[in-house]
Every structure is written in structure tokens, then in C-alpha cells.
């Protein structure tokens, strides 16, 4: 995923050089994000097409007929598919993983013309494309709300997937407290902030507005 970000940043800086405005740059960035992540998603689907998923029953006061399909490759979870009923509507949530990190999520129900699509870089939500094909980045309040909702949902489903039980009550899953950031991670975060600040200095003020 780091290579993906480097590629996108290189394209971004190249376009800045040619004087494109911010809206054009963001459309280009979002387009490249979708193109790369969709290719990775399709690759995972191709790799697991002959894998028989492990299935579990999910229980909750929030829905009925819950099911979880777990696709593993070399012991690593590559895809989770959760289906359930709510208000006589069937929902399907699909989550794709690159190692331990989320790559892509898709949520749809039987009355939607197209699914909500979520593109990740590790635990960062890069882009949300809603069912009406509107695009939102994390600066949007609704996208930010989705980010935290999706992370909690994925964490709970990963715990359910690793459980030895064939039937899991999602309401009873307790998420562990986040561990404190290690010294190594703290130093890396500081270095990334410095790199970002240096990058921002190279962008003309007219494009930052």
C-alpha cells in the first residue's frame, strides 16, 4: 500500500506542476484510488474463487438471520461477507483485506441501485463512494462517521471469525482497548508529519484554498 501512496503522490505533484486546480486534482486522485483498489479487490476475488468459506451464524438485537462467510488464504483472512435482515431488507457487507489491513469495503441492501464503496489505505478511509456515486473524502463529516463505524464493524467481525464458536452474538463482542503507541511508531508518525509539511510547502498557496 505504501507503493500505492507513493504512486498517487507522484501523480499529484506532477499535475500540480502543470497548474491544474484543486478540484481537478482531487477528481484525478479519486479516480486513481478507485482504479488501483478495484484492481486489488478483483485480484482477491480471483484468488479465493475456489476456496470454500467457513460459515458462522451471527446473532444481534439489531438484525435477524445474520451470517458470516470467512475466506482464508494461507491462514490469512482475505475477505469477510456479512449478511443479515433488518426491517424486511437484506443487507450485505463485504470486507477485503491486504494482510491485516482493510483494503476495500462494500455495503448494499436489496433496495439500493448500487452499493456504498469504501477505499482504505490501512486503517485510513481514503474515499467513500455512496450509492448515488457521490464521492467523499475523510474531511466530510459523514465519511468520518463511516470510518469509525467500519473500523468497529471490521474489528468485531475479525474477532467473530477467529472464534471457535459456530454461533457468535455480535452484541457481546467486546473490543480491546487500543494499546499505547510504541516509541518506534511515534517516531515514524513524527517523520511522516515532517514529510507532509515539507510537501505542503512545495504546493502553491492558490491550490491550498
Q: How many other C-beta atoms lie within 10 A of the C-beta of residue 100?
A: 10
Across 26-33, average pLDDT: 70
Which residue did the predictor score with more confidence, 25 or 133? 133
Confidence tier at 61 by pLDDT (50, 70, 90): very high
Q: Is the pLDDT of residue 17 over 50?
A: no
Closest Cα to residue 37, out of 109, 101, 119? 119
Residue 176's φ and ψ, nearest 5 degrees, are -70, 155
Which set of grid coordinates corresponds to residue 144? 468520518
> How many structural domains compose the chain?
1
CA distance 133 to 178: 34
Q: Report pLDDT digits (tens) over 68-120.
A: 999 998 889 999 999 999 988 999 999 999 888 889 999 998 888 889 999 98
Q: Which residues pair with 70 in a beta bridge?
A: 54, 80
Mind giving me the DSSP string for 126-165?
A: EEEE-TT--EE-TTSHHHHHHHHHHHHHHHHHHHHHH-S-
Confidence tier at 42 by pLDDT (50, 70, 90): confident
Q: Is the pLDDT of residue 183 over 50?
A: yes
Q: Are 137 and 127 in contact (CB under 8 A)?
A: yes
Region for residue 143 given its phi and psi (left: phi exceeds 0; alpha: psi -120 to 50; beta: otherwise): alpha
CA distance 114 to 116: 7
Q: Which domain holds residue 13?
A: 2-208
DSSP-assigned letter for residue 172:
G
Q: Report pLDDT digits (tens) over 121-172.
A: 877 888 899 988 888 887 888 888 888 899 899 999 999 999 999 999 999 9
Whether pTM > 0.85 for this model: the answer is: no
Amino acid at each position: 500500500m505504501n507503493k500505492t501512496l507513493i504512486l498517487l503522490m507522484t501523480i499529484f505533484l506532477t499535475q500540480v506542476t502543470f497548474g491544474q486546480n484543486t478540484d481537478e486534482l482531487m477528481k484525478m486522485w479519486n479516480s486513481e484510488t478507485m482504479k488501483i483498489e478495484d484492481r486489488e479487490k478483483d485480484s482477491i476475488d480471483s484468488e479465493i474463487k475456489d476456496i470454500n468459506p467457513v460459515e458462522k451464524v451471527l446473532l444481534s438485537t439489531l438484525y435477524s438471520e445474520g451470517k458470516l462467510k470467512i475466506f482464508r488464504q494461507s491462514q490469512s483472512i482475505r475477505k469477510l461477507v456479512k449478511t443479515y435482515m433488518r426491517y424486511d431488507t437484506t443487507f450485505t457487507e463485504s470486507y477485503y483485506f491486504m494482510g491485516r489491513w482493510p483494503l476495500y469495503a462494500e455495503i448494499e441492501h436489496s433496495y439500493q441501485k448500487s452499493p456504498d464503496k469504501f477505499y482504505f489505505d490501512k486503517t485510513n478511509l481514503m474515499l467513500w463512494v455512496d450509492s448515488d456515486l457521490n464521492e467523499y473524502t475523510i474531511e466530510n463529516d459523514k465519511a468520518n462517521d463511516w470510518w469509525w463505524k467500519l473500523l468497529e464493524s471490521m474489528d468485531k467481525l475479525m474477532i467473530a471469525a477467529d472464534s471457535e464458536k459456530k454461533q457468535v452474538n455480535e452484541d457481546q463482542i467486546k473490543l480491546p482497548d487500543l494499546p499505547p503507541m510504541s516509541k518506534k511508531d511515534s517516531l515514524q508518525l513524527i517523520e511522516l508529519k515532517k514529510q507532509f509539511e515539507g510537501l505542503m510547502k512545495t504546493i502553491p498557496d492558490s491550490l491550498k484554498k
